Amino acid sequence: MSLRASAVRDRCLELEREIASRACSGGLGLDDALRLFDELVPCARPESVRAFNHILNALSRAPGQGTSTSDLVASRFNLMNHAASNMVLPNFITYSILVACFCRTGRLELGFSAFGLILKTGWRVDGMVINQLLNGLCDAKRVSEAMDTMIRRMPEFGCTPDVFSYNRILKGLCNERRVEEAHELLRMMADEGGRSCSPDVVTYNTVIKGFFGEGQVDRGYSLFLEMMDRGISPNVVAYTTVIHGLCKAHAVHRAEAVFQQMIRDGVKPDIKTYSCLIHGYCSIGQWEKVLQMRKEMSTHGLEPDVVTYNSVLNYLCKNGKWTNARKIFDSMIEKGIEPDAATYGTLLHGYATKGALADMHDLLDLMARNSISPDHHIFNIVFCAYAKGGMIDEAMHIFDKMRQQGMSPNVVSYGTLIDALCKLGRVDDAVLKFNTMIDEGVTPDIVVFSSLVYGLCTIDKWDKAEELFFEMLNQGIRPDAVFFNTIMCNLCREGWVMEAQRLIDLMQREGVRPDVVSYNILIDGHRLTGRLDEAMKLLDGMVLAGLKPDAFSYNPLICGCCDAGRIDDAYSLLREMLGNGVRPDFVTYNMILDGLFHSARVSEAKELYLSMMRSGTQWTIYTYNIILNGLCKNNLVDDAFKMFQNLCSKGLQPDIVTFTTMIGALLKAGRKDDAMDLFATIWVHGLVPGVVTYRLIFENHIKEGLLEEFDNLFLEMEKRGCAPDSHMLNAIVRRLLDRGEIVRAGAYLSKMDDKGFSIEASTTSSLISLFSREEYKNHAKSLPEKYCFLEEVST
């Protein structure tokens, strides 16, 4: 043997000894295992499989790795197979480690693949390997398959199910609330009298816990007595299971009797046992018994744990003793007992109940500092508290964190969030939450339906809203006025006003009285379909029905009158509003202003907005935009420009519509320098020009022959992230064609083609008209190839 080969062998033996030593002492951690694996691979020998098994086992059980564990183990297994200097063949233990790892991490398909490799290589299967598969199947809620594997497949492989096999199946059945089947399987084990596998205390305890979990207290307790009759002595876990089940069912006196029997039998209660009893006494309000149990715990050398404290805190908070609860909370921290999510949830619920959001927020901060992840209960408490307080952004953040941590919101959580999102206009998010809610098996109630239908109405998805309406009826949920009004709103927006009006009849048949909103929706619906006189009649009908019209009743009518040029009727409605004590809002004034400007009644419009200023009516930038646009349309650009310059002094921030209106008017009036100065100040106001704004500048540049400036500004626009749309590019092409700029027009036609935009009819007309002229007949070849048909036109 060469010196080099000898050194490699010595290094391999040294590594194998180190790995075995660390594995036996429990000191083979993740980092060390990976390092030793990498060092062993180059010098491994066939016998190194034992060392590799130690490493794979350590990797498969490394804490905190989650699902990445299976990927880590699989990758190192493949390296062991293919990258070792000498072929290292996996043995039965190797494959067993793989099966256990994959099943434990939820990668059941890989677990069965590894099991298949055992069969393929001819290794004899034992019960321990199949038990790992049973464990994986049960964890995946495939208990029926697990039962079939245990009862039918294990004997085929020459294996006999042991008590672990049965106990795992029993636990799986109980977890799926199939306790009757579990009890039948237990009975089969017991009746066979040990011929195959006798039940033990874990077997009985599993089914007892299942009965208690499904509320079958008497059957659980009877099975506990049966276990003792069969000579199987309960351990502390079994006693605690029964005491917990009885206390949870408020059968505290029976639990106390079991506790006394436990003491007589010499089974020492642990902290969990005492915690169950303390919880039971708290649930029936026996505070003296709680104090007695705490004293008895101390006598036996036991200190209350977090579960014990949680029971006490819950009792105090439910009885409104918040100050005492916080003192106990602080004392448990002083004693070094870390509160868990339930502890925080108890106090948070108390703070939320009395509206102490600041205290709740402080407690949440403390929770985060202590690295405690909120559970489902806490998320709901905090989420509902924020939503109730109108802090939707905070509520949404809580909901998102809830989903990120795998929590499943209930109908209250979803209902609150969907309502908030819809009212904020974030309907797509609301629909996503609704779909998630359905997928998770949470049944929506009337609140959820009403909120979502309202949101869908706001984005004109009335088909989906009606679909939800009928789904609601099928579920036996009685709709209220809000829900009917939402559907009516949808119908009216789509022009189905008569159908909406018939919905009033359905409301009354269902015993739901139409309200002001119901009439307002119909008034607006008739206005939108041009039936203004019908809308006017509904206003009278509201009064006859004992309802008082509001601004939302009058505004559609005023809008309809203005659109129809009936300005005098609009003024008459305004006077009626004032006479009935209904205060016009800025929308009312905006509509009349817009109507006056469109009717060229400029002096009356000026008089109205001066009156608005004197009355202290709240103005918005939208009102100013109407006035500026009206002045510009009526060729009063100087007046408009002066008003624009005074905007900032009034504390109002112009928006991009304001700038675009003024730039367009200035350009039209030939005041290019003023327009460009205004354009340059857009960014100063924190705004970004839109496609319409750029289009106005572009068309003017082309008209003035400033083609280089136009090209540069177009490139700048794209660099700033503003993409041209089809209308802009078509307008640019037409303007360039008007100037005879064929090559440049061709370049922008290419941009249109690249973006998949269609050429507009007016652009096509411009092209045909241009190339029909004698002087341009030979220029069609300058355009992109797809426009070669223009050569035929030119000939």
Residue-wise pLDDT tens digits, 610-620 = 877 777 666 77
Place of tokens 């062998």: 9
Q: Decide which of 136 and 500 is more confident.
A: 136
**Residue 333 pLDDT level (bands cut at 50, 70, 90):** confident
Identity of the residue numbered 215: G
Task: Give the model confidence (pLDDT) of 690-747 as tens digits.
Answer: 889 999 999 999 988 999 998 999 998 888 878 888 899 989 989 988 888 888 888 8
How large is the average pLDDT for residues 509-538? Answer: 86
Distance between alpha carbon 644 and the CA centroid of its chain, in Å?
Answer: 43
Q: What is the pLDDT of residue 390?
A: 62
pLDDT at residue 237 is higher than 80: yes
| Helix (H/G/I), strand (E/B), else coil: 582 | coil
Please give, one letter per residue, the 3-state secondary structure of 567-580. HHHHHHHHHHHHHC
CB 558 within 8 A of CB 573: yes
* Separation CA 296–CA 294 (nearest Å): 5
What's the pLDDT band for 209 if we cut at 50, 70, 90?
very high
769 to 746, 762, 788: CA distances (angstroms): 16, 10, 15
**Taking the complete model, does pTM exceed 0.75, yes or no?**
no
Residue 585, pLDDT score: 80
* Statement: residue 74 has pLDDT above 80: yes
Q: Which residue has the tokens 């502890």?
A: 343
Going by the DSSP 8-state scheme, the letter that residue 784 receives in this structure is -
Cα distances (Å, whole numbers) of residue 101 to 68, 77, 168, 717: 11, 12, 17, 57
Break the chain into its structural domains and give their ranges.
417-477, 621-682, 688-795
Note whether 73 and 60 are within 8 A (CB): yes
In degrees, rounded to 5, the angle at the alpha carbon of residue 786 between the alpha carbons of residues 784 and 790 is 90
Sequence-distant (≥ 6) Cβ neighbours of residue 720 within 8 angstroms:
688
H or E, element range at 156: helix 154-156
The answer on pLDDT for 365 being more than 90 is: no
Highest mean pLDDT among 2-11, 139-148, 235-244: 235-244
Q: Which of 278-282, 544-548, 773-777 has the lowest mean pLDDT?
A: 773-777
pLDDT at 241 over 90: yes
d(CA 47, CA 352): 64
Q: What is the DSSP string of 678-739?
A: HHHTTGGGT----HHHHHHHHHHHHHHT-HHHHHHHHHHHHHTT----HHHHHHHHHHHHHT
Q: Is the pLDDT of residue 345 over 70?
A: yes
Cα separation, 748 vs 786, in Å, equals 13
Give, to the nearest 10 degrees, the angle between helix 656-668 and helix 621-633: 10
Question: So what's the pLDDT on residue 753?
Answer: 85
How confident is the model over 641-658, as a mean pLDDT? 80
Give the lowest-confidence range in 387-401, 629-643, 749-763: 387-401
Label residue 256 left, alpha or beta by phi (over 0 means left) and psi (-120 to 50 means alpha): alpha
Both structure tokens of 124: 């004899």
